[in-house]
Amino acid sequence: MNRSKRTSLNKKVLEKIVLFAVVLVIATGALVCIQYYFSQKQNYSKQAFDFARTAANIIDGDRVLEYVETGEKDDYYYEILDFLNVTQYETNLKYYYVFVPYEDDLVYVWDAVNVEGACDLGQHEKYMSEESKAATFEIFRQNPPEKISIQKDETYGHIASAYSPIFNSSGEPVAVVGVDLSIPGFRKTIMMYMLLVVAAIFTITLVALTLFYSSVEKNIIKPIGLLTERAGRMIDNLESDEVIDIDIHTGDEIEDLADAVKKMDGDLRSYISRLAAVTKEKERIGTELYVAKRIQEGMLPNIFPPFPDRKEFDLYASMIPAKEVGGDFYDFFMVDDTHIALVMADVSGKGVPAALFMAISKVLIKTSVQAGRGPAETLERVNNQLLEGNDTGLFVTVWLAVIDITTGKGVVANAGHEHPVVKRAGGEFEMIKYKHSPAVSTLEGMVYREHEFELNPGDCVFVYTDGVTEATNENLELMGDERMVEALNRIKGLETEDILPALKNEIDIFVGNAPQFDDITMMIFKYKGCK
């Protein structure tokens, strides 16, 4: 990530605090002002209705319609007018009046004269709005809901009106008392109150968030910055003896993080030291394994053709270990001028232990055969020899044959090894199956079987280890006996020296990208006969 595009934690915290302060001031100010507005409106409404009900209760409803019909004023009329005048004068009422509503207009009965444009008895006036008309007739119902009416026009300005009905002695509504309060001052009061509230909230919020930011900067931002700087120097200091110093005492998780970073620095130094030692040891082991591999390769015959002066046969072999060194081995050697021994073996296990067991087994088998013992007797002797001091439990499967190259006749013993594959001259490769003897180094005193066979000129014998048939592809499918034989028959027309590389290629195609789990060892012997 490009560091130039990063935003510092300090800037992020400031931005979030400013945003929080703005939202807090606006939201809190709005809520407080809305609450104040409705509270004041309720107070105005109560005040207006108190005046309207007071006048409605003291006015004689039976005399109201007489004044409207006759237009004549008496002492009672002036008494009520004085009451309205005094009340209006002593309070903040803008209009205080009594009228009789009709369908299309209203007729004034009393109107306080302390304001300009006061209406006299009998004076008509059209309704100011449909809202006023609906509100006026609504109060003629018994016990109407008291709801203040707010309106604004050119004649009367911005007013809040309250109405209360006057009833006659029969309980019928005959007139209406109207009270108008001027509310421009109310709105001005609201605005002033809002400004004061916002200013107060802003000041308090600013002080609180300033203290909060100072605490965050001291206890979070600066410690994290110090941690970042020290952690950045950690790798550079690894090559020196300088241990990073992080002096953070916040008493919380940040201090725990600082302690963890310091511990990580020490652990990292210790790990690097151990890793260097382990790497050095692995390099030493790798060198030794390479030497062991070269020794093992040197133990197996690897010059082909091995007996260029012998025209009776062709012989080729190969071993590809799964690890640096393997447990598979093959061998071939002339027992005398007319007999050749062929060995194909597979030691249980992998790596160095199997390779050591393989070396011992190879030497014992060759020594026994060259001493004149047959395949079965050789395996019986080697079995007992390997069991002496074999605490590891390793064993070895062996296919051992001795062939008379003058006649093609041979003797073979199979100690738990894979079945050989034979191709007769002009025919195809076929697997020869027969009952095996147990593997070598499994049970003391074991007796092994021998089988006689005969090769004619042009016949081939192919022997191998289970690394061939158990080669596994990415779908966990095994190569198997059938696929192996099919692959051999696809390449049967090749020269003897080309068959093993071609079969290895067939195995690689089948396996694909899957890893090799076992040693792959193969040998092919073609009998040509004496000419």
Better-scored residue on pLDDT, 69 or 15: 69
Cα–Cα distance measured from residue 102 to residue 492, given in angstroms and rounded to the nearest whole number: 124
Segment 467-495 shows an average pLDDT of 95
Please, which pLDDT band fits residue 389 given cuts at 50, 70 and 90?
confident
Residue 36 has pLDDT above 90, yes or no: no
What top-level class would CATH report for the domain 7-188?
alpha beta
Cα–Cα distance measured from residue 238 to residue 284, given in angstroms and rounded to the nearest whole number: 25
Cα–Cα distance measured from residue 529 to residue 405, given in angstroms and rounded to the nearest whole number: 7
Q: What percent of the chain has pLDDT over 70?
A: 80
- Residue 280 has which token pair? 């050095």
DSSP, collapsed to helix, strand or coil, labels residue 519 as: coil
Torsion of CA 288, 293, 294, 295, to 10 degrees: 90
Residues 524 and 505: beta-carbon distance below 8 Å = no
The pLDDT value recorded for residue 298 is 63
515: DSSP letter? P
The pLDDT value recorded for residue 384 is 93
303-527 adopts what CATH topology?
Phosphatase 2c; domain 1 (3.60.40)
The pLDDT value recorded for residue 296 is 64
Give the lowest-confidence range in 40-44, 323-327, 522-526.
Answer: 323-327
Give the lowest-confidence range in 111-120, 177-186, 214-223, 288-297.
Answer: 288-297
Please, which pLDDT band fits residue 513 given cuts at 50, 70 and 90?
very high
What region, left, alpha or beta, does residue 448 occupy, with left being phi > 0 and alpha being psi -120 to 50 degrees? Answer: beta
Mean pLDDT of all residues in the chain?
A: 83
Backbone angles phi, psi at 492, to 5 degrees: -65, -25
The pLDDT value recorded for residue 245 is 67
Q: Regarding beta strands 124-126 and 105-111, do their DSSP bridges make them parallel or antiparallel, or are they unpaired?
A: antiparallel
468: DSSP letter? H
Segment 364-374 shows an average pLDDT of 96
Better-scored residue on pLDDT, 98 or 38: 98
Better-scored residue on pLDDT, 39 or 190: 39
Q: Which residues contact 479 (CB under 8 A, 6 or more apart)?
A: 468, 469, 470, 471, 472, 507, 510, 511
Nearest to 516 by CA among 463, 467, 465: 467
Residues 45 and 146: beta-carbon distance below 8 Å = yes
The pLDDT value recorded for residue 1 is 45
- Residue 198 has which token pair? 């916002």
Cα–Cα distance measured from residue 484 to residue 471, given in angstroms and rounded to the nearest whole number: 10
Segment 186-190 shows an average pLDDT of 66
Kindly report the length of the chain.
Answer: 531
Highest mean pLDDT among 98-107, 342-351, 400-409: 400-409
Cα–Cα distance measured from residue 29 to residue 198, given in angstroms and rounded to the nearest whole number: 5
Domain ranges of the chain: 7-188, 241-299, 303-527
Please, which pLDDT band fits residue 314 given cuts at 50, 70 and 90?
very high
400-to-169, 363, 397, 465 alpha-carbon distances in Å: 139, 14, 10, 13
Nearest to 401 by CA among 346, 470, 459, 330: 330
How do residues 238-277 score in pLDDT, each as one tens digit? 666 666 666 777 777 676 776 777 667 666 767 777 777 7
Q: What percent of the chain has pLDDT over 90?
A: 39
Please, which pLDDT band fits residue 144 given cuts at 50, 70 and 90?
low
Residues 462 and 395: beta-carbon distance below 8 Å = no
The pLDDT value recorded for residue 521 is 94
How do residues 157-178 score in pLDDT, each as one tens digit? 677 788 888 988 888 888 889 8
Residue 119 has pLDDT above 60, yes or no: yes
